[in-house]
Amino acid sequence: MSELGTNFFKPDQWPVLAGLGMSLGLGLLIGIQRGWTLRHQVDGSRFAGIRTFGLLGLAGGLAGVLGSTDRTAAMIVFAVAALLVLFGYARTGRRNGSVSGTAGLAALIALVCGLLATRGEGQIAAIVAVGTTLLLTLRPQLHRWVEGLTESEVSAIARFALIALVILPLLPDRHLGPYEAWNPRQLWLVVVFVSGFSFAGYIASKRLGATPGTLAMAATGAMVSSTAVTTAGDAPARQ
């Protein structure tokens, strides 16, 4: 009996089994949120439930396992699963008259997370799955937050995204100038910190009140950059 168990569970198979288990678990994680959110809908009218999301994660994991031996079979498994998602999305849309794209995107993310989990990228898969679940869970709060934004705040968010996500990565991360005294990326990072804390302080003071908002910004900034917080705090006073 022990010899049969040893032959059945080979040591080199444990990483594969662990990856498949993680694929299933990540799919179920997203599926729990979707199933709870759509729990009041009539059976058969939902795009997908917890079991479907779990199976999608597992299908992605199987595609990842097959990819190391038979890339064609892996592509077929992944493509069929993706097509089933699209077919289910279209079918639900025709039946209900309208359907949110959130469920379809969440299903595709579960499929991709399952693939990553068995391709040596388990940490990335876990981060994506947990982030997706958290984002889906915060839907009511995010909607209320967006409804409370003003046009100037939306414009400020767009400008900060340009500063932090577009300009910063493009700047060279090396020392330049006389005596190699300045680094463009490090200098611009100060701009990002100051702009970020200034905007965060404005939002906090508007949502929480002047004193609690300032304290919240200071407590957060103390863990990152006290200089940036001081500069950001002085900026409104000079205006």
pLDDT digits 0-9 by tens, 122-167 = 899 999 999 999 988 888 787 787 787 778 778 888 888 888 888 8
Residue showing tokens 């300045």: 182
The fraction of the chain above a pLDDT of 70, given in percent, is 70
| Every domain of the chain and the residues it spans | 2-141, 149-238
pLDDT digits 0-9 by tens, 43-57 = 655 666 788 889 999
**Average model confidence (pLDDT) across the chain:** 76
Q: Above 90 in pLDDT, residue 185?
A: no
End-to-end CA distance of the chain: 80
pLDDT digits 0-9 by tens, 56-72 = 999 999 999 888 888 88
Q: Above 90 in pLDDT, residue 179?
A: no
Q: What are phi and psi of 189, to 5 degrees?
A: -65, -35
Q: Above 50 in pLDDT, residue 238?
A: no
Contacts of 166 (CB under 8 A, 6+ apart): none
Contacts of 202 (CB under 8 A, 6+ apart): 156, 236
If we measure between CA atoms, which residue out of 117, 95, 114, 91 comes closest to residue 104? 91
Alpha helices (H) along the chain: 2-8, 14-37, 50-67, 71-96, 101-117, 122-137, 139-147, 151-161, 168-170, 184-208, 210-222, 226-238
Q: Above 70 in pLDDT, residue 22?
A: yes
pLDDT of amino acid 115: 92
Q: Above 70 in pLDDT, residue 26?
A: yes
Helices (H) and strands (E) in the chain, counts: 12, 0
Asked whether the beta carbons of 32 and 134 are under 8 A apart, the reply is no
